[in-house]
A and B are shown apart, each in its own frame.
Chain A
Amino acid sequence: MSTGTLYDKVWALHRVADLPGGQTQLFIGLHLIHEVTSPQAFAMLGERGLKVRHPERTVATVDHIVPTTDQGRPLADPLAEAMLAALEKNCANHGLRLYGFDSGQQGIVHVIAPELGLSQPGMTIACGDSHTSTHGAFGAIAFGIGTSQVRDVLASQSLALDKLKVRRISIHGSLTPGVFAKDVALHVIRRLGVKSGMGYAYEFSGSCVAALAMEERMTLCNMAIEAGARCGYVNPDQVCFDYLHNRPEAPRGAAWHRAVTWWRSLASDVNAVYDDEVAVDAGEIAPTVTWGITPGQAMAVDEVVPTPDQLPPGEEPLAQEAYRYMDLRPGQPIAGTPVDVCFIGSCTNGRLSDLRDAALVARGRHVAHGMKAFVVPGSQQVARAAEAEGLDAVFAQAGFEWRRPGCSMCLAMNPDRLEGRQLSASSSNRNFKGRQGSASGRTLLMSPAMVAAAAVSGVVTDVRTLLSHTKTPERGLTE
């Protein structure tokens, strides 16, 4: 059993009671809600005549269903409009803060909570969305929940949970140019497998992680759930404090200094005990792309699609299904595969640094003939910042569409979707069958820079070959 880790410390602090059967009642410090998984929870609350216990600790935004072109009300899709209206009504009835279109802060829930400074070290953070693991980048215990649990948090600001084990994933060394946090995440999932994290919280540490900017750490923690780990985190350090300083919801003045002292004390002790440890060499990581139908079916862009004998035991049936679905042959290079649609966005890679990385590739080039390529900023704040430095113009000149913020084609609950068998290069997080809105649509996950490379080349392309013709991206310029 782990001791002395950040996970252990934060867990102990939030423990409310021990429940029959061995579960723990855990206090939830921050509850984030959105329009898709909350309406039924509010209905259940209403049926029981319950109120929201801590309205001040519940924050809402609208992201999953929003159109990224015309966001005028009423929304064109009546179902989407009904969901947004229900969220507005529920927030008004219960006195909850809602960051809607006219707030100037609307965006994907996992993008806006960090940029507002709501996500802080030492908190427990829950949201009815599996990528809540993102907020672990701040040294929080952050995890996705289902709708009945949303109801429980609304009603009691707490949850019945089993404590997880802790696996430390130490990533040492430096990333080579053209390799990003997304590649680290895909590489780790490929190595450990999509089920490896079940029952675990993942602590990402090591010199490589320490050198990552906050936005990159968010990408890494975001993908923890794709390894099966309900939460992933990075110990809070100066990089984290510098990011939070002066954010609207961060503590100020004397409270800031007290908070930083407390935050420092939360990092895992040097002699902390882990349930498991894994080491990864950052220098070995290449730009990574998925070839299959789970995020674990990933490969370096300069490799060939694995043959059945190269796969771990037991993986062959899924690989056979993936070859058929993706229409890729074992042994075939992935580079050079023609792509139909390029999507840059999502809570994994829809932040300012992601757009900068992609713009660096797009600048002075043009999307390939017949390619649909679009950029969806993760939030209104990201959109403003990108527009202030002219990234929207860089993308537009290169033939990308510049959209309004939302989840968009990450899960295609809005009009942005694949059609038929289209193949997308996507900076999102899931390449499941049918994920991007067409039951037979196909997805290749990769970093935003790699998506831009595919867009301008028309085919899957090693971004390093394009970067060698431009200037090398400066790491850490993003915050």
Chain B
Amino acid sequence: MTSAPITTVEGRGIVLHGHDIDTDRIIPARFLKTISFAGLGNHVFADDRAAAGGCHPFDCPEHKGARILVVNRNFGCGSSREHAPQALRRWGIAAVVGESFAEIFASNCLALGMPCLRGETEVIEHVQQVVQEQPHVHFCLTLAASTLHGLDHHWPLMIDSGPQTMLLNGCWDATGLLLSHEQELRRTASQLPYLNPSSG
């Protein structure tokens, strides 16, 4: 069982300024009262958008259809809810670029095949400036080289080799890969004292 390789993400950008934007803000808890992820896209940043009265980036007409979200530090901290990347994804986001990401959020994104790439503060601020001043610029994110291309710029980004390889090889949906190690799974289980309490 493999998933499709992800080598590039193309499209317009959308900027969300601020550090420590937590998953409670990305998708408030009341929208978790569901047994399916369908429909979450409508509620992404629901409270922030309501508070901004239509002026939130996710409501601006010029960002409609944007695919690359550009954020600052520690994006996605807090609750482990996969509903957060699911909501972003269902709104239309296909990749996130930022100064840093909370770990559980980044691994949840990876499981959806949604790359999270990091950049130095100056790089991210520059990209954010370009997106804000020229929302119609078309970007291309290249996974193998970890770069973002747009206008005449090539911005260097970073991604750990694990997620990078999994995305490029199309094995970001890990289930099939994990299940392929039947022998190794059995061997490990047989060596764990707490699974074999009568031996030892």
A and B part of one assembly: yes
List residues of A whose CB falls within 8 A of some B CB.
Answer: 13-17, 19-23, 25, 27, 29, 36-37, 39-40, 43, 48, 50, 53-54, 57, 64-65, 77, 79-80, 82-83, 86, 120, 122-123, 128-130, 144-149, 151-152, 155-160, 162, 194-195, 198-199, 228, 230, 251, 255, 258-259, 262, 294, 314, 317-318, 321, 411-413, 430, 432-435, 437, 439-440
**Could you tell me the distance between the alpha carbons of A138 and B60 in the complex, rounded to whole angstroms?**
49
Please report the total number of B residues contacting A with Cβ < 8 Å: 66
Task: State the Cβ distance, A38 to closest chain B Cβ, in Å.
Answer: 9
**Contact call B80/A318, Cβ cutoff below 8 A:** no
Main secondary structure of the interface of A (DSSP, over half): loop
**Could you tell me the distance between the alpha carbons of A122 and B100 in the complex, rounded to whole angstroms?**
31
Q: Which residues of A contact B80 (CB under 8 A)?
A: 37, 128-130, 144-146
**Contact call A20/B185, Cβ cutoff below 8 A:** no
List residues of B whose CB falls within 8 A of some A CB.
Answer: 1, 18-20, 22, 24-25, 28-30, 32-37, 47, 50-51, 73-74, 77-83, 85-86, 100, 102-104, 107-108, 111-112, 160-166, 169, 171, 173-175, 177-179, 181, 184-185, 188-189, 191-195, 197-198, 200
Task: State the Cβ distance, A297 to closest chain B Cβ, in Å.
Answer: 10
**Contact call A158/B100, Cβ cutoff below 8 A:** no
Q: Which residues of A contact B164 (CB under 8 A)?
A: 21
**Contact call B104/A194, Cβ cutoff below 8 A:** no
Q: Which residues of A contact B22 (CB under 8 A)?
A: 294, 430, 432
Of the candidates A83, A120, A160, the one whose C-beta lies within 8 Å of that of B35 is A83
Q: Which residues of B contact A40 (CB under 8 A)?
A: 35-37, 82
Task: State the Cβ distance, B119 to closest chain A Cβ, in Å.
Answer: 16
**Could you tell me the distance between the alpha carbons of A318 and B19 in the complex, rounded to whole angstroms?**
7
Task: State the Cβ distance, B51 to closest chain A Cβ, in Å.
Answer: 7
Pairs across A and B, CB under 8 Å, 22 listed: A20-B166, A22-B161, A25-B178, A43-B35, A65-B33, A79-B34, A83-B35, A123-B194, A146-B80, A146-B81, A152-B174, A157-B189, A194-B77, A228-B74, A228-B103, A230-B103, A259-B193, A294-B22, A294-B77, A434-B24, A434-B25, A437-B29
**Could you tell me the distance between the alpha carbons of A433 and B1 in the complex, rounded to whole angstroms?**
40
CB-CB nearest in chain A for B20: A294
Task: State the Cβ distance, A121 to closest chain B Cβ, in Å.
Answer: 9
Q: Which residues of A contact B173 (CB under 8 A)?
A: 148
Q: Which residues of A contact B181 (CB under 8 A)?
A: 16-17, 25, 158
Task: State the Cβ distance, A457 to closest chain B Cβ, in Å.
Answer: 29
Q: Which residues of A contact B193 (CB under 8 A)?
A: 122, 258-259, 262
Task: State the Cβ distance, B195 to closest chain A Cβ, in Å.
Answer: 7
CB-based closest 7 A-B pairs: A21-B165, A148-B111, A146-B108, A146-B82, A39-B35, A147-B82, A156-B178
**Contact call A255/B74, Cβ cutoff below 8 A:** no
**Contact call A156/B104, Cβ cutoff below 8 A:** no
**Could you tell me the distance between the alpha carbons of A379 and B189 in the complex, rounded to whole angstroms?**
31
**Contact call A19/B102, Cβ cutoff below 8 A:** no
